[in-house]
Structure formats: C-alpha cells, structure tokens
Chain A
Amino acid sequence: MKGYILRRLGYSVISLFLLSVTIFLFVRVTGDPAVLLVEPGASKDDLEMIRQQFGLDQPLPVQYGSFITSLLRGDFGQSFYYRTPVLELYLSRLPHSLLLAGAAMVFSLVVGIPTGIIAAVRVNRWWDSVGKIFALLGLSMPSFWVGLLMILFFSVYLGWLPSSGSGTLLHLVMPAIALGWVFAAAHMRLTRSSMLEVLGSEYVKLARLKGLPEALVISKHAFKNALIPVLTLAGINLVIMVNVAVVVETVFAWPGVGRLLYEGIAFRDFPVVQATVLLGGAMIVIVNLLVDILYAVIDPRIRY
C-alpha cells in the first residue's frame, strides 16, 4: 500500500507541475502579458516597468522559473482592487465557498442517493421514470438559472428567503440547492447504475439464496458496495463545486472564491483571476489524491 501511495503522490506532483505550466504558457503566449499584469488604466511607462519587473523579455524557461518559485513561496501576486496579497484574499474567502459546497453536497447526496437506490430497486417501473426525468432536468437547467428562479419565487413572490449575502442558515438554502442541483442528478444516475450492477452480482444472488430478507440484502450487501463509486465521485465533485460555484455565488452575492473570480474579471484584476484558477486546479488535484488514498483505506482489497 505504501508503494501505491507514493506512486499516486508522484502522479499528483506531475499534474500540479503541468497545471502551472499550462496556466503560465497561456498567459505568456497569448497576446501581451504586460497588459494583463498591469493595472487597468496604466500608461506606457507602467507597461515598460511591468515588463522589467516580470522579466517578460527573458526566455520562457527563465520566466517560468521565477513564476514557480514565487508560487512555491506563497506569493501569488497582489490584487489591484483590494491591494492585498491574493493568497490572503483567497484564503479568507475559501471557508465560505467550502461551506456552500458542503451544503450543496449534502443536498445532492440526500436527494441523489436514495432516489438512485429506489430507481435501481424498482428498475423500469414508475419511480425509475421519475428518476430519469429528474436526472434529465437536473442536467438541462443551468445552475444559475435555477438560482434566479428560486430568488423570484422564494424571495420576491413569497418573501421567505433572503436573496443575497450570507450570514444565516436561511441565506445558505437557496445557493446550496442551486449549486447542488446538477450534482444531485449526476449522483442519482451513478447510484442507480452502480446499484443495478451490484444487484446483479453473484454475492447478492447468494445472499438471496441464503434466504436473507430483501431489505437486508439491499441495505447490507448491495448498499455498501454500490456506494463506493458514488462517494468517490462525491469527493471529487466537492472541489469541482467550489470551482464552478462562480455563477451561483455571483447570483446570490455569496462571498466565496467564486465571487472573487467574478470580481477579478469585472474589475480586470488579473492576478486574482490567475491565482483563483491555479489554486482551484491545485485543490482538485490534491483532493483527487486524497480520495484515492481514502479509497485504499476503505476497500480492504487494496489495503492488504
């Protein structure tokens, strides 16, 4: 198992490296990077100064060298708008995004898993059709539109929930549902197909032959096995949620890293944009690694 962990770790390091290279190259290679790296409304002299500062006339590998060293030092640049180091800004916003993503994940699992299980157990019958329709709708309705509709309905018409900001549990409800909606559909689909596969397996067959009650067969034998791929996906989706929450956070003015990204675009604050994308991608790579390791811990087949 140790070998497995080390290999996965190495793989993640390579991924992080490639990620940084990709981001770096895109910035340096498309258009004039100085324009991006300088504050909006700068003069020609400022552009020259930036070129000097970032060494934009030097060969690419050298530029990359300084780029990656500053990253490793924790220096992700300074926000033009907030005038604070970007990393600090990002880390201050991250807890809000994690809260939102966590709530959305809970919603998506609470809705997705039971629906998926029932759809599998009652395959091709009524509930399965309902599940399929739900899944299809989930994948066809953009999350931000769901958010807007909810605001229209629950804030404007009914006046039950606040339409923006954060602070109380009530503020969390709508953004979490809007964000978790798509993922609920995805989780439902995966739970259903995973469950169907498990229900057709030999050990479930044997469990029935042992004369175990159907409820026990499903809850004990089928459930745990079927859940493995779903939880794996959920773990990875959590970080993806943090990243794609940008639209939902914008709709609800939720102070997370997604909204930070939006501000970066709106105010042409490029260091913020670059850092958010880099850190977001890095989080995904790291979480993938953690999920794989966790997988090894849970599944006894890999452990021994």
Chain B
Amino acid sequence: MSGPLLEVRNLSTHYVSARGTRVTRAVDDVTLTLEAGATLGIVGESGSGKTTLALSLLRVLPPAGRIVSGEISFEGEDLLRKSNAEMRRIRGKRIAMILQDPMASLNPLFTVGDQIAEPIRVHDGASRRSAWSRAQELLKAVRIAAPETRVREYPHQLSGGMRQRIVGAIAISCEPRLLIADEPTTSLDLTIQAQYLNLLRDLQRAHHLALIFITHNLGIVAKMCDQVAVMYGGRLVESGPVARIYNAPAHPYTRALLESIPRLGDSRTRLTAIDGQPPDPAALPGGCAFHPRCPKVMDRCRAEAPPEFSVANAHTSRCWLSG
C-alpha cells in the first residue's frame, strides 16, 4: 500500500450546546499526514483541541460534538463516509487508543485477562481459551512479570504503572496499524514514565505501529516523535519534523513554548512563561487566536486569521510572519 497511512485534510469539529446557542470550534481546519510506522506528537495546552482531534479520528465524540467539514483518510479509506458498524470494526482492530487515567479505563468488576481477551474475541472471533492465552502473551509483551497469575487479577490489585501497561496490551491486542495515546504518562510516576515510553517505542518497532502521541510535555515529544504538530485554539499553528522545529521554530507560540522549558546551565534567573492565559475555546479571539499573547503581534494578526504557510519541506506554520 502506497501513500501515507493517515491523511487528515481541513478537519473541523464543533461542539454545539444543547439549545444550539453556543458553538465551540474545538478543532478548526486541521491538516496533517502520518506515514506507516512513524510517530507524530500533538502538543498543546488544555483546551487546544488535541483530545477532540483524537476523538474525531475515531468518531467517538460525545453527543454535542459534530464533525462539520474535512476528510479523514486512513489506509486510503475515507473514515467520515463509514457507517457506525464499519467504524466499530475499525476501532480497536485497526486504530487503537489509550486514555489518560489507567485506573478509570479498566472496569473494576472484571479481571485483567477478561478485559484484554475481549477485543480479541470480538474482532478476531477467537475462542475463550485461545484469547485467554493470547492475553497472557500480551502481558509478557508489555513486560509484566508472572503473567499467568496476573491475568486473573482485578485492576485494583495492580499498581498504576502496571495498569497503564495493561491498557497498552489491550490496545495492541488486535494488531492495529495506528495507536493514539492521549497523555498516557501524565498520571504515572516520573520513574515509571521513562520505562513506559521505552516500552511504547519497542512495541512500535516490533509491530510497525504508527503512533500519535498527544501531550503537553515537549520533552516527551523530543524523545519519542519524528514529527510534531502544535495546536492552539483548535488550530494547527505549526507542524513539521521534530528536529527542525525544535531548532528553528517558525511560530511565535512554538518558540515561546520551547523557551519556557528551563535548561541546566541556563543563565537566566527567572522562568519565562507566556503572558496571559490560553483562550476559552468557546470565545476565541478574532483573527489569529494567539494575537493577544504574541510578542510579535502586528495589526494584520488582529484582523485576519493566517492560513498555513509552507516554511520548508513538510514544515508549515500559521503565522503572518512566515507568509
């Protein structure tokens, strides 16, 4: 199969309030591409729309959410044209997702083995016994010791790190092509985080998985990802190869984010933060959403929202400065 694994073109997702009065443009005109086996990091503050973007890909939005325009092409197929039944077969089997809180993600009343075996039985039609033994193999693959005993335990009997691995095991159980991880390490201890990230990377290589990593942590992106997409106010403000963007960010927001990370050997005595607060998605500023906080703001930014400009090969930026 040639061509990229996933192509998103001009995707817009809105949340409409119950009486149709408030429209929140959670995802606004987002375009990105992902090759098979590659890793894309989606970075942004809370409210930037990154989770909504992920939910849109799998079409598991809450009732108030609506995909209003755009295309999502996965393995050459348009996901937005698919019926609910077809999407259901894709979820878990071809595209999998990991959520942030591993404790809440696992059903407290069922054993770990049951929950891992479940998608295998539903998607591959496996028998109970073969699914169960596959579950044990998966536990081994995510480096959980004594899988034969663990498989019979309940979620509350395991530590946070183990639970997140189990969620990972569930995700890869049906050999998906794409794994979306929404802040998977945020609720883990720092010491466990590194182990978990290594595990993800190894699984990715072993199964030729494409990975979309949603996070607000630039350090993780630097470690794990080939490409990065920066979101602000529902829009993709900069995207491109990690090395390029980290060395020479084109968008003032990206630059500010990178500068706010303290570094050893830094001669500055004060931490720099970005002035102001992230915008309320329901009440975005006009023009470029970042203009109230931008150190390089021009009159044009207040009036018109900039389109995507191509800065270099595969590197785009939504800023009038790059135009």
Contact = CB atoms under 8 A, between A and B. Distances in A.
Given A203-B105, A206-B106, 7 more contacts: A201-B104, A205-B105, A206-B99, A209-B58, A209-B99, A212-B92, A214-B88
10 contacts: A202-B104, A203-B105, A203-B108, A206-B97, A206-B105, A210-B122, A211-B88, A213-B122, A300-B108, A300-B154
B232 to A, nearest CB: 26
Interface in B104-121: 104-110, 118-119
A301 interface: yes
A221 B88 contact: no
Interface in B43-61: 58, 60
A209 B89 CA distance: 10
A23 interface: no
Contacts of A221: 107, 110
A274 B122 CA distance: 60
A202 to B, nearest CB: 3
B156 interface: yes
Nearest to B167: A206
A301 B60 contact: no
A213 B121 CA distance: 12
Interface of B: 58, 60, 88-93, 96-97, 99, 101, 104-110, 118-119, 122-123, 154, 156-157, 167, 170
Interface string A271-304: 0000000000000000000000000000111001
Which has the most chain A C-beta neighbours within 10 Å: B92, B101, B154? B92
A225 B99 contact: no
A225 B108 contact: yes
A98 to B, nearest CB: 30
Contact of B101 (A202, A209, A214): A202
B122 A300 contact: no
Given A202-B101, A304-B154, A211 B90 contact: yes
Contacts of A299: 108-109
Given A301-B156, A304-B157, A213 B88 contact: yes
A209 B108 contact: no
A7 interface: no
A224 B109 CA distance: 8
Given A206-B167, A300-B156, A301-B156, A211 B107 contact: no
B109 A225 contact: yes
Tell me what chain A mostly uses at the interface: helix, strand, loop, or mixed.
helix
A216 interface: yes
A211 B84 CA distance: 10
A226 to B, nearest CB: 11
Can you list the 7 inter-chain pairs with the closest CB atoms, starting with the nearest?
Answer: A211-B92, A202-B104, A211-B91, A210-B92, A203-B107, A210-B119, A206-B105
Given A211-B123, A216-B122, A203 B91 contact: no
Interface of A: 201-203, 205-214, 216, 221, 224-225, 299-301, 304
Given A300-B154, A300-B156, A208 B109 contact: no
Contact of A210 (B101, B110, B118, B154): B118
B167 A211 contact: no
B123 to A, nearest CB: 6
Given A205-B60, A225-B108, A211 B122 contact: yes
Nearest to B174: A211
A192 B8 CA distance: 38
B125 to A, nearest CB: 13
Contact of B154 (A205, A225, A301): A301
A213 B122 CA distance: 8
A216 B93 CA distance: 16
Nearest to B107: A203
A183 to B, nearest CB: 25
Nearest to A301: B156
A299 to B, nearest CB: 8
Contacts of A203: 104-108
A40 B86 CA distance: 79
B99 A202 contact: yes
A207 B123 CA distance: 13
Contact of B60 (A208, A216, A225): A208
A212 B60 contact: no
A116 B109 CA distance: 21
A208 B91 CA distance: 8
Nearest to A228: B109
Contacts of B92: 209-212
A156 B122 CA distance: 55
B164 to A, nearest CB: 12
A224 to B, nearest CB: 5
Nearest to A206: B105
Contacts of B90: 211
B119 A225 contact: no
A210 B105 CA distance: 11
B99 A212 contact: no
Nearest to B100: A202
B156 A210 contact: no
- Central interface residue in B93, B97, B107, by most chain A CB within 10 Å: B107
Given A206-B167, A211-B93, A300 B119 contact: no
B91 A210 contact: yes
Given A202-B104, A203-B106, A300-B154, A209 B167 contact: no
Contacts of B118: 207, 210, 212
